Structure formats: structure tokens, C-alpha cells
């Protein structure tokens, strides 16, 4: 690494609710084995018949994460976030009030759409029954900040809290906010990540009518194909990922082990179009360059990129242009884990941050599933066919979004005295 590398924050815990598993080892083993979590939705699911394929996360009942008296009208995105946060804090071995001052721990939880499903359900009740049909618990059940609020209430977190809502970059931006808070001295620990529950008919109809979704694949597991010449759209997914970021000295003082360090972040805005990326990839390139500068690294220090790679024609080519602009002919290994999980929208960046941290921790790079014939316009060093065993000193994760939001995160080896 470059001599000017800046201090980061160590990832001491992870909580995941994803289409390919919940525990970090289960999740990462599925990615490296090339297993798909993309299926046809079962009969009885609200979006059955509306989506050809989807990344369906495990069911989380309200009683699993909340007292029965508090489950009224709580949206699924909140339940997914609570389950992931509970697991992340348990994985970190951290109890608020025992291991950290409640005022020195923060929570930043992102979402793209928030409680859209709950809002739609209550809107139907209003149309059917008028004003009496609407639950008084609607707003505390579906507002975008309620995942962060519920996590803070449950665990007694009394420091900074926030909700990031920058579409498909939101989960990564929440993780970046965690590093900002720790570097600024505003927190010793940050619970950060993203959650999304978007597998319902209205969202499915909107993306279908926009011709954005993969279609026509007899086997749903083959439909998500980032960078492949045969790709024809992305696959909608749902889930949550929460990371516990910790000041290294704080983690060492309590004997906590780390997965990896978050050592840099970068952000930019395309200022180009509400839904389409800049074709030249310059906005995305700006975010990656900013992350490198923030980490005090050079492009040659990056050994792996977990690409945004959704499987759309325009997006994959624009990201390729950005990677080539930043790294030139000396391209790092690249893969997109959306081939296995689908696109989890506001949670995607957090899920992929976890995958990137695990790749650094294990020295194993997950392949891009279904990348059978790489698009010639996406001429990168793709990890495909099988996982690649390659220890890397630093790895970068990209997340890009409608509105032109771009976030890049950089992870390096854990700086704690013990590694997970």
C-alpha cells in the first residue's frame, strides 16, 4: 500500500438477510461456490405473476425482532433491518451500555423506497373503507427513517442516527457515513447498512414497463447476467445487510476480532439524467478516484473490484468505461455478485460491502454468475466460472444509482490484533 494510507474503521460484525443466506460464512460460501438465490416467486406471494424471477430473502416474522405489541403495520424493510442489525451486533459480541457508551455509538440505515408496500396496502384500505380504514400506525411503520429508529430503540443507541435515501447507492453511502463519523471522532462504533423490501406488484410493474428487468429465461437462476453479452436487464431482489464499524483502538480494548478495515470512500454525482448513467462513466470514475485519494492509495494498490454490475446494457458498459479510465490497462480482478443475489436496490451497496470485506478477509474473490460470454464492450479481468484464490491488499466496491449518485468504498486487511 501507499505510504500515505489513512486510518480506517474495522468491521467487527456483520448481519445479513439475503437471497443466498444469512450468516456471513453461509452468504460468502454461496457466492464463491456460484450458487444462485434467484428463483420464481411461489404462489401466494404478492408479486407472483408480476416478476419472472426475483432474489427472495428469508421470511422474517415481526415476533422474531419485536415484541408482539409493537408489530402493528411495521413494514418488511424494517423487519429485515432489525434482523440484520441484531445479528451484526451479536457477531461483533457488542452490547450497548456494556461494551460501548450509548452516546458513542451511532446508527445509519439506508433504504431506497422505505415502506412502499405498507403505504400501498393502507392506500387500498382507504379506497375500500375511507378514512377509518387507515391504520394510525401507518407512518411509524413505513417512514424511511424507521429502520434506523427501531434499531436505536431496541438496542439503546443514543448517539447520531440517520437514514440515507439515495436509491441504489444508499446502502454503500450509509457505510461511508460510518467511516466519516468514526474519523471525525463523533462515534466509536457505527451500526450501518441498508434494507429493502421491493418485491410487490407496483414496483414490479414500474420496472417491467420501463423494460429494465431480465426476461425470457426458462431458468430464473440464469436471468441475472452482469457483463454477459446475452444480458437483457436486472433481477429485482430484497434483503438487508448491516455492518458494525468500530474504531480499531476501541475494538482492541475489548478484544474484538475484525473481518477487514474500511479505509476509504468516495462520492460523486453524474449530473446527467434521472435514470441513465453517463455513457463515458466519468461520474463513476470520479467516485473511485475520490475513494483512492481518501484512502491514500494508488490504483495499483487495488487487487479486486466488486462492481455495481447490474446486468443492464447501458450500466455495465458505463462502469467498464469508468474502470478503464481509473485503472488503465492494469485492471484489477472484477466481479459482480448480483449474478447470485439480484439487485437489492437500496440494500445492494451494503450487501456488496459485506462481500468485499469477506473477500479481503479470506483472500477469495467470488465469481460473476452466468458470465458465459463476456460482452466485448466490457473488456475487464472478470472473475468467472469459479472463485479466484487471490489475497489482495485492498479491494473496492461500487454502488451507483438513479439520480446519478455514485459511491465507492475501499476495504483492506483488518487492523485489529485478532482477525475473524
pLDDT band at 4 (very low <50, low <70, confident <90, very high): very low
pLDDT band at 2 (very low <50, low <70, confident <90, very high): very low
Mean pLDDT of 320-349: 97
What is the phi/psi pair of residue 2, to 5°? Answer: -65, 150
pLDDT band at 5 (very low <50, low <70, confident <90, very high): low
Q: What is the DSSP pairing of strand 54-55 with strand 9-17? A: unpaired
Which residue is it, cell 455514485?
406
Task: Report pLDDT for 73.
Answer: 85
Is pLDDT of 3 > 90? no
Spatial separation of the C-alpha atoms in residues 176 and 256, rounded to whole Å: 21
Catalytic residue numbers read 168, 308, 343
Task: Report pLDDT for 371.
Answer: 98
Is pLDDT of 1 > 80? no
Task: Report pLDDT for 36.
Answer: 98
| Number of helices and strands in the chain (H, E) | 13, 15
Spatial separation of the C-alpha atoms in residues 199 and 15, rounded to whole Å: 21
Write the DSSP symbol of residue 198.
-
Is pLDDT of 10 > 50? yes
Sign of CA dihedral 224, 227, 232, 238: positive
pLDDT band at 233 (very low <50, low <70, confident <90, very high): very high
Is pLDDT of 228 > 90? yes
Are 167 and 112 in contact by the 8 Å Cβ rule? The answer is: yes
All three cell numbers of 259, joined, read 473481518
Mean pLDDT of 49-68: 95
pLDDT band at 8 (very low <50, low <70, confident <90, very high): confident
Q: Over the range 52-73, which residues count as b (16 or more CB within 10 Å of their CB) and which as e?
A: bbbbbbeebebeebbeeebbeb
Task: Report pLDDT for 401.
Answer: 97
Task: Report pLDDT for 164.
Answer: 97
Is pLDDT of 255 > 90? yes
Percent of all residues in the chain with a pLDDT value above 70, rounded to a whole number: 98
Is pLDDT of 6 > 80? no
Q: 396: part of which helix (H) or strand (E)?
A: strand 395-400
Is pLDDT of 21 > 80? yes
Sheet hosting strand 381-382, strand order edge to edge:
161-162, 105-110, 189-196, 239-246, 9-17, 260-269, 405-413, 395-400, 304-306, 333-335, 381-382
Spatial separation of the C-alpha atoms in residues 194 and 343, rounded to whole Å: 13
Please state the length of the chain.
420
123: helix, strand or coil: helix
Q: What is the pTM of this model?
A: 0.96
Mean pLDDT of 158-170: 98
Spatial separation of the C-alpha atoms in residues 111 and 346, rounded to whole Å: 5
Task: Report pLDDT for 241.
Answer: 98
Sketch out the chain's domains with CATH numbers. 9-413 (3.40.47.10)
Mean pLDDT of 209-235: 97
Q: 116-131: per-residue pLDDT in tens?
A: 999 888 899 999 999 9
Amino acid at each position: 500500500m501507499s505510504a500515505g494510507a489513512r486510518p480506517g474503521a474495522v468491521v467487527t460484525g456483520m448481519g445479513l438477510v439475503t437471497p443466498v443466506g444469512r450468516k456471513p460464512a453461509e452468504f460468502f460460501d454461496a457466492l464463491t461456490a456460484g450458487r444462485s438465490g434467484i428463483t420464481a416467486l411461489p404462489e401466494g406471494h404478492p408479486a407472483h405473476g408480476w416478476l419472472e424471477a426475483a432474489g427472495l430473502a428469508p421470511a422474517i416474522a415481526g415476533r422474531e425482532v419485536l415484541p408482539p405489541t409493537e408489530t402493528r403495520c411495521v413494514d418488511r424493510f424494517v423487519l429485515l433491518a432489525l434482523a440484520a442489525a441484531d445479528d451484526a451486533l451479536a457477531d461483533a459480541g457488542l452490547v450497548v451500555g456494556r461494551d460501548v457508551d450509548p452516546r458513542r455509538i451511532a446508527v445509519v440505515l439506508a433504504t431506497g423506497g422505505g415502506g412502499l408496500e405498507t403505504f400501498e396496502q393502507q392506500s387500498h384500505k382507504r379506497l375500500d373503507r375511507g378514512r377509518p380504514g387507515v391504520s394510525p400506525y401507518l407512518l411509524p411503520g413505513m417512514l424511511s427513517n424507521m429502520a434506523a429508529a427501531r434499531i436505536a430503540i431496541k438496542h439503546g443507541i443514543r448517539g447520531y442516527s440517520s437514514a440515507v435515501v439515495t436509491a441504489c447507492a444508499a446502502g454503500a453511502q450509509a457505510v461511508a457515513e460510518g467511516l466519516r463519523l468514526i474519523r471525525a471522532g463523533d462515534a466509536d462504533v457505527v451500526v450501518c447498512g441498508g434494507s429493502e423490501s421491493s418485491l410487490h406488484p407496483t414496483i414490479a410493474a414500474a420496472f417491467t414497463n420501463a423494460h429494465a428487468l431480465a426476461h425470457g429465461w426458462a431458468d430464473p437462476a440464469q436471468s441475472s447476467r452482469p457483463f454477459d453479452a446475452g444480458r437483457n436487464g436486472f433481477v429485482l431482489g430484497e434483503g438487508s445487510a448491516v455492518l458494525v464499524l468500530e474504531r480499531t483502538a476501541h475494538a482492541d480494548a475489548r478484544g474484538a476480532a475484525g473481518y477487514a478495515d474500511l479505509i476509504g470512500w468516495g462520492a460523486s454525482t453524474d449530473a446527467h439524467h434521472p435514470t441513465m448513467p453517463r455513457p463515458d462513466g466519468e461520474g463513476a470514475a470520479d467516485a473511485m478516484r475520490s475513494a483512492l485519494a481518501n484512502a491514500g492509495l494508488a490504483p495499483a494498490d487495488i487487487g479486486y473490484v466488486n462492481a455495481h454490475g447490474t446486468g443492464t446494457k447501458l450500466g455495465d458498459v458505463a462502469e467498464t468505461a469508468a474502470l478503464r479510465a481509473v485503472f488503465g490497462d492494469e485492471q484489477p480482478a472484477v466481479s459482480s455478485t448480483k449474478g447470485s443475489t439480484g439487485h437489492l436496490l437500496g440494500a445492494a451497496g451494503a450487501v456488496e460491502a459485506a462481500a468485499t470485506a469477506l473477500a479481503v478477509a479470506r483472500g477469495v474473490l467470488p465469481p460473476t454468475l452466468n458470465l458465459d460470454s463476456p460482452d466485448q464492450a466490457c473488456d475487464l479481468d472478470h472473475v468467472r466460472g469459479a472463485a479466484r484464490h487471490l489475497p489482495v491488499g485492498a479491494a473496492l466496491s461500487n454502488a451507483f444509482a438513479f439520480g446519478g449518485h455514485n459511491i465507492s468504498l475501499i476495504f483492506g486487511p483488518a487492523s485489529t490484533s485478532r482477525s475473524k
